[in-house]
Amino acid sequence: MLSKRAEDGGCWEPEGCGQWDWGCPETRSRLEEVFFGDQDVIRRGSEDCRRFWAFFERLQTFRKPKPGPEAERPPEGPRCPALADLPATYDPRYRINLALLSGDGEPGPGPRGAHGRLPRDRLAEFRRAVLHYLDFGQKQSFGKLAKLQRERAALPMARYRQHLLQALREHQVVVVAGDTGCGKSTQVPQYLLAAGFSHVACTQPRRIACISLAKRVGFESLNQYGSQVGYQIRFESTRSPATRIVFLTEGLLLRQIQREPGLPQYQVLIVDEVHERHLHSDFLLGVLRRLLPARPDLKLVLMSATINIGLFSGYFSHAPVVQVPGRLFPITVIYQPIPKEEVPTSKVERLDPRPFLRVLQAIDRKYPPEERGDLLVFLSGMAEISAVLEAFQPYAAHTKRWVVLPLHSALSITDQDKVFDVPPPGVRKCILSTNIAETSVTIDGVRFVLDSGKVKEMSFDPKAKLQRLQEFWISRASAEQRKGRAGRTGPGVCYRLYAESDYDAFAPYPVPEIQRVALDALVLQMKSMGLGDPRSFPFIEPPPAASLETAIIYLQDQGALDASEHLTPIGTLLSQLPVDVVIGKILILGCMFDLVEPVLTMAAALSVQSPFVRSAQSDVECGTARKPLESDHGDPFTLLNAFNAWVQVKSDRSANSRKWCRRRGLEEHRMYEIANLRQQFKGLLQDHGLLAKARVVTGDSYSRQQRHRQRQELYQLKRRHEEGEGRKRKVLRLEALEGGSSSGEEAEVSGSQAGDGTHHVDIQDVKFKLRHDVDQLQAAASSAQDLSRDQLALLKLVLGRGLYPQLAAPDQYNSCRKDSDQFFHTQSKQGAVLHPTCVFANNPDLLQGGQAEAQKNQGPLSDRRDGSSSQHQLLAFVSLLETNKPYLVNCVRLPALQALLLFSRSLDTDGDCSRLVADGWLQLQLEGSEGAVRILSAALRLRARWEEALDRQLARQAWPRGEDGAATAPKTERKAAAALGRDLLDFMRSKVSYSIHRLTALEAQNLYVGPQTITAAPQLPGLFGEAALTPHETKGGYAVTSFLTYNCLTSDADLYSACLRTFWSCPHCGFYMPLTPLERMSHESSCPAAPDGDAHGASEEEEATSGRQASTLRRAYHCEICQKDLLLTPTEILRHRRLHV
Amino acid sequence: MASSSEQELRGMFECQVCGLTVPYSYVGQKPPNSRTVVLLEECYVLKDPFSSDKDRFLILGSQCSLCSKLVCVGPECSLFYSKRFCLPCVRENLSAFPQEIQQDVEKRYALSKTGSRKLDSRT
Ligand SMILES: [Zn+2]
Ligand SMILES: [Zn+2]
């Protein structure tokens, strides 16, 4: 085609006549055909080709007149033969060590025939231009390489390279101590690679650091486009068989050890930032210390700031320390303690911004605006940041010398990114940050640091199992870190809003995380790694004993550990799910009732930071747009709705999900996280046989092809984006920043822009579509959107059971209170309030059904004054967080009676079962013993069936799986689960009127009758399977099941249980006898004509199979305490053990 | 896939003038996959680490045609004028080179001096 056009003639005439025009498209096309073919270095239409023409144009403008034919010969003759044959005449082309074969040879036919039409001298000229271009490229790349090597060699770490390698040859463990800027994190891995080590893992406390370090080290080790350097984080991995060094999080390495305790895949481990003392890093050190003797060939490098080095060295039998000085410029410290009258007197009072403002003014007075240098302010939390922001903004607007930017983890990613942008000339950037900028985020150009000396940290109260966010003085080590941020690029100044004597009184180091957080996940992981008793594990610094005890008791309460602290089957599974125990339970329970899709989403949503942007809370428009997403069942359902609605938007190709999120005050990044996490959960459930692997729906070949094409396009977009290397630094605008956060327009254009801005690529969207099958997600989302009432109720039950015992009861006077004054009580914490984001915080009436009805009942027409209702509600919550008040976070409401009957670990009754006490803190008074007995016995049967179903599910997980890897539930099992689901729903709907009362301390003390002398067990055959009725040793009454104790409650009327016998006829079989309530229950549960029970909805044959299956789960169990040999399922063993507690 | 595109490293190239040390993957005049480009001297070559194109190569250095020292192509270490010369050799035989080269060498010398002074003031 092209040659045909060439024959038509171009804009140039054959040799000699007419004007030669390099710019003529026809000419260029012919030249490209000759020089830029598929075999050539530069290919037609490539980016390189475009760059060449730009270069060529510049070359034309600089073209000098040709030198005269006779250049001067050097006056002296050559001294040696090598110089003798230097070209006599200078020509720049002699300076190029490249030659080009393209366009050579005789003109002739063939693909390159076109050049016959080009004048020979023009061809030669063009060839020289190409050579110049290639030479220029060589010079550029080499310059880059040389600069890189120079910079690496100039790092303080470089001088210690040999020292480090020598130490590592002689010792198994080496500590590298060096401060920020010494280059240890980037250089040490490279030294190891260059020294010939090849399987190197380097852990980082933060995911983001894994990615950035892998990029940097890849670049520096000239492996930017290779695969020797990779990273591995929760959702992403660039690891391949060729990878020689991998950056990964501490948590991930721990998981690898959990799978392969000897860690055979690594030769060297580097644990970076050990001084930060994260929970995982402390634990990892402990695990590694145990591992090292078993792997004498494994080398371990600990890297730390120059903080507390002796501790780490000592922990590894005095490992040698390579200490590297940092590269910091001198920093002047100015102590400016806050005057007394400006110190907030109570913790609710807002921070006084005046001392901060004075520093701003001092900088303006002392340093001319043309001297660049930004200010970094360290504050304790978001409230403090907004107080200072409010005070700084008018000042900044007035002086036009500052742009003020907040920085904390709850900001949107776009807003966080702004702190890296540059201010216009004459204007300084002022970043108001939490301690996130102490180590996690490094901002260049900071010259001034203003340190409030405060930090807010989570602390854990093991007694109340309560997380508390409290303000503390920082440690001296943190103060030094903060100060150091001022001296990274030049000499700096650090203002400290405290006295030098305060500084001296600070603790030397921050409190390690292990000493201030809940340890359940840690204990669970330790158990599953077979590390024995956590109490005797040799931690580098042990956690408080009370925290360990609390964690163990909690895991026992959650059913993950048994009475002798061994992992239960469910505990084993939970230890493999990288989530909170509660969330893990919800996942497992959800699998049983075919609620996998919504449960996956909820579990994921509850495991990430809330996608609801706090600042949008007060925004009326946001509130209105959010409204349709809200669910009156509770926050997890709102999250489910939000995610599903977002997926619908995503699946619509034309819709802009980013805009959709912004309008609703949703952080889209969290949505991506939820999508990734739920995918990971799904994989885990499939791996553990709880969920059948989805069959791949291939569709017809057309749709397959189309899908393939779409994916190719997405890959291309992603590659192009990666080559464009993300976001360019932008110049901040003064006016636009007055709001402190991004305006809508700005957020629209920021983010990733590829190329020359001709098209916007939402790289998150691209990655999302590459990682997920959007159609499949959309199908799941729309199925979840039309969940039936039944499914919703079942979902609530699953959540409730998972979250139990995290329950809160509304205060009895809530209905008389203002919306904002609603109180709730948990067993251990009184007076908790709802988190402002909670759906019930704005709609408290949703929780007052019981109280409202009870009040109505109190009217003159009713003689009941006891608050009876069938609609009492309880809240199950995901976490209890204490800041200035204890807050319940992520709540679901549940019908109180049913939830307590189904979930309580301890249920105590009186003689006629109308009075029940759940877990020793909530008392239920039911109306009429008849109904009470019926609902109690229904609950008992349901609980037994549910346990059994769970056992079977867990046992299936433990079985070796077949070739196809899928362990699908047998049909019968699925039917039984469906039947159980139906019966649970019936149970939830049962209407019984009752009152609910939180026991006072005094009442709780005198709750039980205590051990009785008459201990003859009533004869109640077949009531609860094989379990024998035994007198309860402490409470009195009889232990019926592991959780139910009959007739152990003291009451005013001292009734003898036998006196409670009344005539009763069985509604199913017509049996008629005087019976106690317990005897009635016994008969009902064993009555062959009863419609309830396993037979419900299943044929007899199926019942027989399911019975057989249950019996296959039984194994011989010898109880040490009662010296009996029993045949029990794992759950029954657990139940049995509890009897002895 | 990625590993096959990575060329085997043959050893370390070290410039005997400036000490620059970089791994190389090929020595010769016809770098692998270099298509229609040939080198006019025996070069130490590395796959261009700054290009995603796996066929792009980067010349690190070669032998000085006078003293046979291994030198990098950096402007402070060597120049090419139909052959490779290390800068010490060029300066020794300066008069044997054309005017243009002589001027260029002087310029480089002056530049490197100010450059190193700048570096000194930083530390
Ligand atoms: Zn050199
Ligand atoms: Zn030489």
CB-CB under 8 Å, A227 with B6: yes
Q: What is the pLDDT of residue A212?
A: 79
Q: Which residues of B touch A94 (CB under 8 A)?
A: 81-82
**pLDDT band for position A533 (50/70/90)?**
very high
What span, in angstroms and rounded, lies between the C-alpha atoms of A276 and A183?
A: 17
Q: What is the pLDDT of residue A1127?
A: 66
What span, in angstroms and rounded, lies between the C-alpha atoms of A879 and A582?
A: 10
Q: What is the pLDDT of residue A632?
A: 86
Q: Select the residue of B36, B59, B101 nearest A41 (Cβ to Cβ).
A: B36
Q: Is A719 exposed, middle or buried (0-12, 13-18, 19+ CB in 10 A)?
A: exposed
What span, in angstroms and rounded, lies between the C-alpha atoms of A996 and A998?
A: 7
Please name the residue of chain A whose CA is at the shortest distance from the CA of residue B47: A222
How are beta strands A331-335 and A492-496 bridged, if at all?
A: parallel
Q: Which residues of B touch A90 (CB under 8 A)?
A: 98-101
**pLDDT band for position A777 (50/70/90)?**
confident
Q: Select the residue of B35, B38, B59 nearest A138 (Cβ to Cβ).
A: B59
Strands of B57-116 (E only): list them: 57-63, 70-72, 78-80, 84-86
Q: What is the pLDDT of residue A734?
A: 67
Provide the sign of the torsion angle of the four alpha carbons A414, A419, A420, A425, taken in this order.
positive
**pLDDT band for position A759 (50/70/90)?**
very low
Return the structure tokens found at A49. Answer: 């080709």
| B56 contacts B7 by C-beta, under 8 angstroms | no
Q: Return residues 50-79 of A near B (CB < 8 Å).
A: 71-72, 74-76, 78-79
Residue with tokens 């249980």: A1057
Lowest mean pLDDT among A289-303, A582-596, A966-980: A966-980
User: Chain B closest CA to A217's CA: distance in Å?
Assistant: 12
Query: Phi, psi (5° rounding) for residue A890?
Result: 55, 85
Q: Which residues of A touch B34 (CB under 8 A)?
A: 41
* Sequence spans of domains, chain A: 2-66+83-141, 155-324, 331-509, 512-592, 804-896, 904-1112
Ligand nearest to the CA of B88: 2
In the chain, the amino acid numbered B7 is: Q
Examine domains A155-324 and A331-509 and report if their fold is the same.
yes
| A409 contacts A610 by C-beta, under 8 angstroms | no
Q: Select the residue of B41, B53, B98 nearest A97 (Cβ to Cβ).
A: B41
Give which of A374, A382, A463, A359 is closest to A422, Cα–Cα: A374
Q: Return residues 58-97 of B near A (CB < 8 Å).
A: 58-60, 62, 65-66, 72-74, 79-84, 93, 95-97
What span, in angstroms and rounded, lies between the C-alpha atoms of A1071 and A1068?
A: 8
pLDDT in tens, chain B (123 residues): 333 334 567 788 999 999 999 989 899 999 887 778 899 999 999 988 888 887 889 999 999 999 999 999 999 999 999 999 999 999 999 888 998 889 888 888 777 766 554 444 433
The complex scores an ipTM of 0.91
How are beta strands A492-496 and A466-473 bridged, if at all?
A: unpaired
Give which of A794, A798, A1110 is closest to A973, Cα–Cα: A1110
Return the structure tokens found at B95. Answer: 């008069």
Cα-based distances in Å from A1139 to A6, A1015, A1019, A1128: 96, 16, 19, 14
Cα-based distances in Å from A142 to B46, B47, B90: 10, 12, 21
Give which of A417, A403, A411 is closest to A750, Cα–Cα: A417
Which neighbouring-strand residues pair with A429? A403
In the predicted model, is pLDDT for residue A806 greater than 90? Answer: no
CB-CB under 8 Å, A86 with B52: no
> What 3-state DSSP class applies to A926?
strand
Angle in degrees, 0-180, between the axes of helices A635-651 and A789-803, rounded to the nearest 10:
120
CATH fold of A155-324: Rossmann fold (3.40.50)
Q: In this complex, is the C-beta atom of A1013 within 8 Å of any C-beta atom belonging to chain B?
A: no
User: Chain A closest CA to B106's CA: distance in Å?
Assistant: 16
> What 3-state DSSP class applies to A483?
helix
Cα-based distances in Å from A140 to A484, B48, B73, B75: 35, 11, 11, 12
Instruction: Report the share of chain B in percent with pLDDT over 90.
Output: 47
Residue with tokens 């709102």: A638
Q: What is the pLDDT of residue A169?
A: 94
Q: How many A from CA of A81 to the centre of ligand 2?
A: 14
| Range A276-281 average pLDDT | 92
Q: In this complex, is the C-beta atom of B39 within 8 Å of any C-beta atom belonging to chain A?
A: yes
| A177 contacts A323 by C-beta, under 8 angstroms | yes
Could you tell me which residues come within 8 angstroms of residue A608 by beta carbon, excluding any fewer than 6 positions away?
A670, A673, A674, A677
What span, in angstroms and rounded, lies between the C-alpha atoms of A914 and A926?
A: 5
What span, in angstroms and rounded, lies between the C-alpha atoms of B70 and B86?
A: 9
| A593 contacts A606 by C-beta, under 8 angstroms | no
pLDDT one-digit tens code per residue, A432-481: 998 878 876 678 789 999 999 999 887 777 666 667 778 889 999 899 98
In the predicted model, is pLDDT for residue A1056 greater than 60? Answer: no
> What 3-state DSSP class applies to A54?
helix
In the chain, the amino acid numbered A999 is: L
Q: How many A from CA of B78 to the centre of ligand 2?
A: 8
Ligand nearest to the CA of B86: 2
The CATH code belonging to domain A331-509 is: 3.40.50.300
Q: Is A412 exposed, middle or buried (0-12, 13-18, 19+ CB in 10 A)?
A: buried
Q: What is the pLDDT of residue A963?
A: 42
Q: What is the pLDDT of residue A722?
A: 62
pLDDT one-digit tens code per residue, A198-228: 899 999 988 777 887 888 898 898 887 777 8
What span, in angstroms and rounded, lies between the C-alpha atoms of A740 and A403?
A: 9
Mean confidence (pLDDT) of chain A? 79
What span, in angstroms and rounded, lies between the C-alpha atoms of A390 and A373?
A: 22
Q: Return residues 92-151 of A near B (CB < 8 Å).
A: 94-102, 134, 138-139, 141-146, 149
Query: Which span out of A499-503, A683-687, A729-733, B20-24 was modeled with the highest average pLDDT?
Result: A499-503
Number of neighbours of residue B31 by Cβ within 10 angstroms: 23
Exposure string for B91-117, b = 16+ CB within 10 A, e = fewer: eebeebbbebbbebbeebeeeeeeeee
Q: How many helices (H) and strands (E) does chain A have?
A: 40, 34
Task: Give the residue, A62 or A125, on which the prediction is more confident.
Answer: A125
Length of chain A: 1141
Could you tell me which residues come within 8 angstroms of residue A593 by beta carbon, excluding any fewer than 6 positions away?
A794, A798, A977, A978, A980, A981
Q: Which residues of B touch A223 (CB under 8 A)?
A: 49
